[in-house]
Chains A and B, each alone.
Chain A
Amino acid sequence: MTSTTTRGRRPGRVRWWTYLLLSAATAACLFPLYWMFIVATTDTATATEMPPEVVPGGNFFHLMGLVLETVPFVQSLLNSLAVSTAIGVGQAVLCSLAGFAFAKLQFPGRNTLFVIVVLTMTVPTQLSVIPQYMIMSELGWVDTLQALIVPGLASAFGIFWMRQHISATISDELMQAARIDGASTGQVFWRIAFPIVRPAAFVLGLFGFVTAWNDFLWPFIVLKSPERYTAQIAIKALQNSLDVDLGLAMSGSFLATIPLVVLFVIVGRRMVAGILEGAFKG
């Protein structure tokens, strides 16, 4: 009863400096992207002028043309799109399946296997790039996109996260009812469980997509020929010719960032909500 009266006049009003602080943080976050756009649209001479240019120039298409001449950038964007989509979808589906098994199915070794999954989250596999490269070499996958896709298809964290969601949202009664109606395990998963946890799987897939899109080290090691480059490696290739044209690397970076900015404008809300749910602490 007291709580209803205090709720009306909640203390802790927002001070002006709160907005100042948050605006400064926002400006710091957005400025580099704005600057990227400025330099990507002007020529080098203007870009290096002080005081700096603050409005976009008209050089965008000229620079884009240069970018496309220097590296197969459109191809690299398509490669990134293919790799990131495959990883995002793969994680959403495979982690949902495994999470479903750990949450709702009974099988010998279930708990032990789940502990192993959780433990693997703490294993820093990034440090063993040399043997990873040797394996890809044995498989004949060096300089192929599947070398990027296949290792990223399932993640321990994703299994953990989907298991939590499935445990929380799908009741045993619902499972039993479906079983009684004669549904097989596969049908229960595809017709009942997956549709219910699809939002959670979608958020997981988004994070998988973004991580794969921005990955650098592994593609840098595995990819050799320019037509296989992902967008990030194409930026690196453009940067090698940085002394030739400063705007060039910037245009490439801009071009590689735009798809993610667009994606973020559409689904950023759900990504933020995903973190606030305590999802991505791994």
Chain B
Amino acid sequence: MTAVTATLTPAPSAELPPPASPRGRGLAERLSAYAYIAPFFVLFGVFGLFPLAFTFYVALFDWNPIGDQVFIGTDNFTRMFADPRFWNAAGNTVSIWALSTIPQLLLALVLAHVLNNARLRFALFFRMSVMVPYITSVAATAVVFAQLFDRDYGLLNWLLGLVGVEPVDFVQSTWGSHVLIATMVTWRWFGYTTLLYLASLQSVPRAVFEAAAIDGAGPWQRFRHITVPSLRPVIIFTVVTSTIGGLQIFTEPLLTGSGLTCGAVRQCQTLTLFLYEQGFGQFEFGYGSAIGVALFVMVVAIAAINFVLSTRIKADR
């Protein structure tokens, strides 16, 4: 066999044509690569980048969609910073974000650690179950949770009543509404986060866990000293994405409270809801855009912090 190959090797592969040079192809053929990537750039330019730039422009105007557009410089921003409704919305957004992110990430950490056990039975069933909330729409979730958390007829208050707790008004009270919205967010995302962590954990060699177990490390020690440190980059990633998502939270509060203010005293109005209220409720496109700019700046700041953090982590290792 080897001999045959050896004798054949020197023979020139005369029947194979040389690779076609780019010049041999038509112009259309050479430009086709641009045609393949063009749809994305056109769509992103028209529906992503341009609107973003235009937000900054509109924010400088007193802009009514059916009336005049008057240039007012930075007046919208001065007005926004003096507007207690803006700070209320910002506070609500942060509060709901913290209440939803912290339990969600802790839960996901524990579940991912547990799901990473190679001997676990029904692993696929558990993995699929935690993804069910992800495929359930926010609108449907909000309807169910509003019912479960209802003050008078809700299952949760009934259960609380059994142990002697006074019914909580989850919709009308500030803390109650934040807890309700945060529960919805946590419910929807914790399974997805769990699978992200599990994906990352699976790249840790199993031998590391096994060696630790042989050396006598219990489940808690393995969790603390192997699972959590090896997940640090993906934990930072999920904190950042959940923060960016949290800044944009809209549907849950809209469907929980009554309308755009999310309750009589704006107790659960978030920044995006406030943006929508000003833009499409009051038709103040300029003021609404100024809120959009503020949100954009916050998102960019968080992304920048993330960048610094992740480069620092790489440098540490």
Contacts and interface: CB of A to CB of B under 8 A. Distances in A.
A and B interact: yes
Interface of A: 3, 6, 10-15, 18, 21-22, 25-26, 28-30, 32-33, 35-36, 39, 47-48, 50-52, 94-95, 97-98, 100-102, 105-107, 110, 113, 116-117, 120, 122-135, 137, 150-151, 153-156, 159, 176, 179-180, 184-186, 189, 210, 213-214, 216-217, 220-221, 231-233, 235-236, 239, 246, 249-250, 252-254, 256-257, 260-261, 263-264, 268-269, 271-272, 275-278, 280-281
Interface in B212-260: 213-214, 219, 234, 237, 244, 247-248, 250-251, 254-255
Contacts of A185: 29, 32-33
A213 B139 CA distance: 11
A13 B135 contact: no
B33 A130 contact: no
Contacts of A21: 110-111, 114
A179 B139 contact: no
A257 B111 CA distance: 26
Contacts of A12: 117-119, 209-210, 213
B288 interface: yes
Contact of B144 (A36, A107, A151, A210): A36
Given A14-B121, A257-B137, A107 B276 contact: no
Chain A CB count within 10 A is highest, among B147, B158, B209, for: B147
A246 to B, nearest CB: 7
In the complex, the 6 A-B pairs of residues with the closest C-beta atoms, listed nearest first:
A48-B153, A253-B140, A131-B51, A131-B54, A151-B47, A214-B137
Given A123-B49, A133-B279, A236-B139, 18 more contacts: A22-B111, A26-B126, A36-B144, A48-B150, A105-B36, A106-B22, A107-B30, A127-B52, A129-B51, A130-B292, A134-B51, A134-B58, A135-B46, A156-B40, A180-B19, A249-B143, A257-B140, A260-B137
B47 A180 contact: no
17 contacts: A25-B111, A25-B130, A26-B126, A26-B130, A47-B153, A110-B33, A124-B296, A127-B52, A130-B288, A130-B292, A150-B47, A180-B17, A216-B137, A256-B140, A257-B140, A272-B128, A278-B200
A280 B196 CA distance: 8
A50 B148 CA distance: 12
Contacts of B219: 15
A169 B28 CA distance: 27
Contacts of B128: 264, 268-269, 272
A246 B152 CA distance: 13
Contacts of B210: 6, 10-12
Contacts of B200: 278
Query: In terms of DSSP, what is the predominant structure of the interface of chain B?
Result: helix
Given A35-B144, A101-B37, A135 B115 contact: no
Contacts of A52: 155, 158
Contacts of A134: 51, 54, 58, 65, 285
A26 to B, nearest CB: 4
Contact of B32 (A123, A151, A186): A186
A179 B52 contact: no
Contact of A30 (B32, B115, B132, B145): B132
Nearest to B57: A131
Interface stretch (B4-12, B78-86, B89-97, B187-195): B187-195
Given A18-B114, A239-B255, A123 B19 contact: no
Contacts, number: 303
A129 B292 contact: yes
A28 B127 CA distance: 13
Contacts of A155: 40
B254 to A, nearest CB: 8
A21 B219 CA distance: 14
B138 A216 contact: yes
Contacts of A125: 47-49, 51-52
Contact of B55 (A50, A131, A272, A281): A131
Contacts of A135: 46-47, 50-51
